[in-house]
Structure 1
């Protein structure tokens, strides 16, 4: 039966994230893609798509595919070391594109920098900015949440968390918008090179910040914690610090901006569950997994690359071919989640794979969830009668996520 289905139409006829039909109903396209098999060739992206969660978790756990962008068959040549810019020094051989052994080492030695006490301190540091941003909305009858809040919170909170002095904020904001593009294999060479240059400028700023902090220690922030780790571990260097901070400033801000929009939208669509979701940081952590399961945000997935010619899940892969891990395909699958259409902030997630699994689990997950929790608590504290001002229009222009063109809300507090 599956063979017959394959002959009916090419995969791109039933799965096209760039299409209006995907915006209207992505879930039927997810199901159609998953029905084609465990590993499906997708011509428009020149990539294999891994569709089943057990296979994805096994790939995350065993790390048999490469996460190094330069191992992609269409990547530019890996530059020789004597031609590296700051970007290559940070991205080759360090935390994001490291060999698996070094990546595991980095995770182990920096884990104290992501402890509960550190996360609590970060919340204390960013709370005044969040409170002020939301207080500035007082007296408005309605506003666009994306324009007035979501666009600002990720950069402000991550900069405070890292300990990036405000004098550097204007210069480093650009990398927040473009960092993930510097290693995105699906965009043009010109766009990727522009993002690479943005990253080089950001790295120069981070080098100055690190030097200043060494000369004047004492701040209680993430950078200070990483400098302590470096002092105690010979295998951990400035470049590991820079790469971790770039990941938080760039990739962290990018994903959090998407999460900000969908978190508020999902809660306002289910107001009876807001109190439960925001009852504690722990309750919100679980609620956020349900929010992102229920919200059709994802379009692509996590890129990996075949390190050699290999057989995988019954398919023959050529060295350098991209494999996209797409865990979101399970999110409305009744075989994976009971009553998948139902929104329940107390749903059980075992395991919870929203932020990955195994050695590649996102090390900044607790920080991301705490930032969102703080924002939602302050927003609903000031505007308990907040509601949607009409159904928002979705925006399909981003390569990897579905967002909203605007997210207008009414406060119930006329000017």
Structure 2
């Protein structure tokens, strides 16, 4: 047992470098090493514990009494937290669904949920389908495309803009805003000059969201998610402006990068596995399962989900001290043989009910239905329109602090 009073306990250290050459293309040897050698180890560079086994990951995600997603509880929040480095995000994070303390989280989530139920999201299908079709028509004229920049990058910006009826022509700003917010996930990994650019992008993004909310208060719209959020009231309780601002921002941030990467990784796995491609062509409804297996088998996060200990917690023989950060390594947990039979095998028919790719418990990703629908429609339409599409060359990855970011995924849409 580690002595609880000694803050400088002899703690197991995680030997982990997500920036090592080749990690983005294949992080799994590094994850396996963590699971077998230091399943819970302290990572000095990221200033937190890495949780690499499925069982421990689920234990923390379920434990909302002793762990919180509120970054203010981090022992290093005052010096290393977002508020210290990017004050523009501090106010947003304070009211964000991603970081609200448990009681507030339940309250806000209850007010928001009706706008994001499977049925509410399903109503967006025709709108999303027409955005996808329009982008694929433009792509078709090129013949050979980079699926990331020509298709995947553009869909979420258009969908969220359309969902929230944001002013047209502001998609590029959206994109910068969301990328900036995602990059602040582990603030300690940011470099000085980069922080200034991020701050400017976040300031502009927040101003745009605020403007849109005010406009919608004055001019409510029918069947509009933002109007619904503004008007939603339960027992005299409704969202205040700060909560609305945070909520719309987390919808933008949560709904962008994840969806872009999920489209890219799904197309990549489909085209690099002829047997899976044949199965999905024969049974188009398999697309849904394909997406879930891509999320499990090849999760694009370099790290995972952050939680902060509200008290000293002993887990698998290691003590996580009050205020310390635990990073739940999804890419590792979802390849854990103890939880998934033949975890190293890509199985498009696998039962993925145990997957924690969208989180678990109270903080299960509220935008999961929207992300799934966008990817289903994008991948389904690509297959239908371009059944002969082929990878032109190996996929390449670009730098990103927290995501294995596919930079180039070149695909020839029709045979020459």
Q: Same fold (TM over 0.5)?
A: yes
Alpha-carbon distance, 1:158 to partner: 1.7
The counterpart of 1:329, out of the listed 332, 346, 352, is 332
* Bigger Cα displacement from structure 2, 306-315 vs 126-135: 306-315
Q: Distance in 2 between matches of 1:210 and 1:338?
A: 47
Counterparts of residues 13-412 of structure 1 (less than 5 Å): 15-23=16-24, 25-63=26-64, 64-76=66-78, 87-188=89-190, 190=192, 191-192=194-195, 194-230=197-233, 234-274=237-277, 277=280, 283-295=286-298, 297-395=300-398, 397-412=399-414
Alpha-carbon distance, 1:293 to partner: 1.9
CA RMSD of aligned residues (A): 3.0
Q: For the structure 1 residues 235 and 228, does the alpha-carbon distance in structure 2 shift closer, same or farther, using more than 3 Å as the test?
A: closer
* Bigger Cα displacement from structure 2, 272-281 vs 176-185: 272-281
The size of the alignment, in residue pairs, is 401
Q: Distance in 2 between matches of 1:51 and 1:398?
A: 21
Match of 2:50, SS? strand
Q: Distance in 2 between matches of 1:251 and 1:401?
A: 13
Is this contact kept in 2: 1:140–1:413, CA < 8 A?
Answer: no
Alpha-carbon distance, 1:378 to partner: 1.8
**TM-score (structure 2 length as normaliser):** 0.86
Q: Distance in 1 between matches of 2:54 and 2:342?
A: 18
Is this contact kept in 2: 1:172–1:202, CA < 8 A?
Answer: yes
Q: Distance in 1 between matches of 2:67 and 2:196?
A: 25
Q: Distance in 2 between matches of 1:227 and 1:174?
A: 25
**TM-score (structure 1 length as normaliser):** 0.86
Match of 1:166, SS? coil
Is this contact kept in 1: 2:229–2:239, CA < 8 A?
Answer: no
Is this contact kept in 2: 1:96–1:243, CA < 8 A?
Answer: no
Alpha-carbon distance, 1:208 to partner: 1.8
Is this contact kept in 2: 1:144–1:406, CA < 8 A?
Answer: yes
Q: Distance in 2 between matches of 1:316 and 1:332?
A: 24
Match of 1:258, SS? helix
Is this contact kept in 2: 1:184–1:192, CA < 8 A?
Answer: no
Q: Distance in 1 between matches of 2:140 and 2:22?
A: 38
Q: Distance in 1 between matches of 2:254 and 2:153?
A: 14
Alpha-carbon distance, 1:263 to partner: 0.9
Q: Which string of whole-angstrom CA distances, capped at 9 and with x for unpartnered residues, describes residues 1-60 of structure 1?
A: xxxxxxxx9742xx4221125345422221110112442122232221122222221221
Q: Distance in 2 between matches of 1:86 and 1:200?
A: 6
Is this contact kept in 1: 2:296–2:355, CA < 8 A?
Answer: no
Q: Distance in 2 between matches of 1:276 and 1:226?
A: 41
Q: For the structure 1 residues 159 and 274, does the alpha-carbon distance in structure 2 shift closer, same or farther, using more than 3 Å as the test?
A: farther
